[in-house]
């Protein structure tokens, strides 16, 4: 019998762990779970072949979400049977490591595949979307514990009476279409937690959008629609007008409807911060700390995911290049070498200080 098996046989298996693991402080999800919360990362299946990436996800995440691989344009590029192969890889990784999976996202104005765009504004548009909803939720039934059923349906710039986005299915059917999407998802998997997910509702100047989101949620709840959770994307900007009292009150208004809340896509834009890395990292961490301390104080908040793992994944991606000096963004918990940044420690600290659920 080797040393490891002997130690395991006498209940001292932990001594068999490699030193690096023994020395590792608890990961973020362990910290979260001690308060009845959860933590996770947005990932892509191709990133999992990178050992250091996978190890960071295994250390920190209790739930993962596909950054892109479960979006309609990725799963059904052509008019034909959907291809869930890459999405299945994420689900299989999660199962292998006892993690949950978030499904992101079913109905989103930005992601119908080109072949479906034309059909959507036709007489069969609504049926096409509801069939897609039923098919993808059915495919992952029992494997995905929560779905962003509808993403970013509120858009004040569309200047519609109810604040819904100027997108065919929302215009013809308004709230009723959104209600039908949730009903279709619930019918496909009655055990899945169903989310409305949106951005631009975190800051003081965004009160009008918060009100439009509350109006949508109220309408759905009053119609007994199976909506269980609000996803607040939490794409924060360091140095912006965050009003703790306003945000706290918003969270409570959502909670008072019997709707849970998850922070679904946290990352912190450092465009307003100094070029110096230490100052930028500190500013990003302080921004997240102030936000998370308010959020985690609301009992209806169930957890947090960040929209990526390491700054390496945002390098050279135009979407995240917001700094005037063109320096690489430092928005995520781990740096480009997967080392913990002040943001990682700020998230850990906010979990440690959170009220227990």
Q: Which residues bind ligand G3I (CB under 6 A)?
A: 67-68, 71, 110-111, 151, 199, 233, 265, 319
At closest approach, how far in Å is the CB of 109 from ligand G3I?
Answer: 11
Indicate the residue among 39 and 195 with the shorter CB distance to ligand G3I.
195
Residue number, 88 or 297, with CB nearest to ligand G3I: 88
- Alpha helices per DSSP H over the chain: 3-9, 19-23, 28-33, 51-60, 72-75, 85-96, 114-120, 125-139, 168-173, 175-188, 207-222, 244-255, 277-295, 342-353
DSSP result, 142-210: TT-SEEEEEES-B-GGG--TT-B-S-HHHHHHTHHHHHHHHHHHHHH-TTSEEEEEESS-SSGGGHHHH
CB of 98 to ligand G3I, least distance (A): 25
d(CA 214, CA 193): 19
| CA 175 – CA 169 distance, rounded (Å) | 10
Of 31 and 71, CB closest to ligand G3I: 71
What's the angle, vertex CA 226, arms to CA 220 and CA 231, rounded to 5? 75
CB of 201 to ligand G3I, least distance (A): 12
Nearest approach in angstroms of CB 67 to ligand G3I is 5
Nearer residue to ligand G3I within complex by CB, 114 or 279: 114
Torsion of CA 263, 45, 107, 313, to 10 degrees: 60
Shorter beta-carbon distance to ligand G3I: residue 110 or 127: 110
Q: How far is the CB of 233 from ligand G3I (least distance, A)?
A: 5
Q: Which of 329, 351, 234, 237 is nearest to 286 (CA)?
A: 237
The Cα–Cα gap between 29 and 231 comes to 18
Q: How many CB atoms lie within 10 A of CB 350?
A: 24
By Cβ distance, which residue is nearest to ligand G3I? 68
Tokens 């659920």 appear where?
A: 357
Is the CB of 264 or the CB of 287 nearer to ligand G3I? 264
C-alpha–C-alpha distance, residues 339 and 311, integer Å: 10
Please state the closest distance from residue 266 (CB atom) to ligand G3I, in A: 11
With respect to ligand G3I, which residue has the nearer C-beta, 151 or 287?
A: 151
For 252, the token pair is 């409570």
Least separation in angstroms between residue 295's CB and ligand G3I is: 17
d(CA 215, CA 250): 12
- Which is closer to ligand G3I, CB of 111 or CB of 345? 111
In the complex, least distance from residue 265 CB atom to ligand G3I, rounded to whole angstroms:
5
């Amino acid at each position: 019998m080797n040393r490891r098996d002997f130690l395991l046989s006498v209940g001292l298996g932990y001594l068999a762990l490699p030193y690096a693991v023994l020395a590792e402080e608890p990961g973020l999800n362990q910290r979260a779970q001690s308060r009845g919360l959860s933590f996770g990362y947005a990932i892509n299946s191709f990133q999992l072949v990178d050992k250091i990436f996978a190890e960071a996800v295994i250390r920190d995440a209790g739930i993962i979400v596909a950054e892109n691989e479960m979006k309609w344009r990725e799963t059904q590029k052509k008019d034909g049977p959907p291809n869930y192969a890459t999405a299945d890889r994420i689900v299989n990784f999660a199962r292998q490591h006892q993690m949950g999976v978030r499904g992101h996202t079913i109905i989103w104005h930005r992601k119908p595949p080109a072949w479906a765009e034309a059909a959507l504004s036709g007489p069969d548009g609504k049926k096409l979307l509801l069939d897609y909803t039923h098919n993808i939720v059915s495919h992952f039934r029992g494997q995905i514990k929560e779905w962003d059923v509808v993403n970013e349906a509120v858009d004040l710039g569309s200047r519609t009476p109810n604040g819904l986005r100027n997108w065919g299915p929302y215009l013809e059917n308004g709230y009723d279409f959104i209600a039908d999407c949730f009903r279709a998802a619930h019918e496909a998997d009655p055990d899945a937690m169903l989310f409305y997910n949106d951005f631009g509702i975190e800051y003081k100047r965004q009160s009008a959008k918060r009100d439009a989101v509350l109006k949508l949620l109220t309408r759905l709840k009053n119609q007994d629609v199976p909506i269980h959770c609000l996803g607040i994307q939490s794409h924060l900007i360091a140095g912006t007008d965050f009003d703790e009292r306003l945000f706290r009150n918003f969270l409570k208004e959502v909670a008072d409807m019997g709707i849970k809340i998850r922070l679904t896509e946290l990352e912190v834009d450092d465009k307003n911060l100094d070029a110096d890395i230490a100052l930028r990292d500190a500013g990003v961490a302080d921004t997240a700390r102030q936000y998370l301390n308010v959020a985690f104080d609301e009992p209806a908040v169930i957890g947090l995911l960040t929209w990526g793992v390491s700054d390496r994944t945002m390098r050279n991606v135009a979407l995240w290049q917001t700094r005037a000096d063109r320096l690489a963004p430092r928005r995520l918990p781990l740096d480009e070498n997967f080392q913990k940044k002040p943001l990682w420690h700020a998230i850990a600290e906010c979990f440690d200080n959170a009220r227990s659920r």
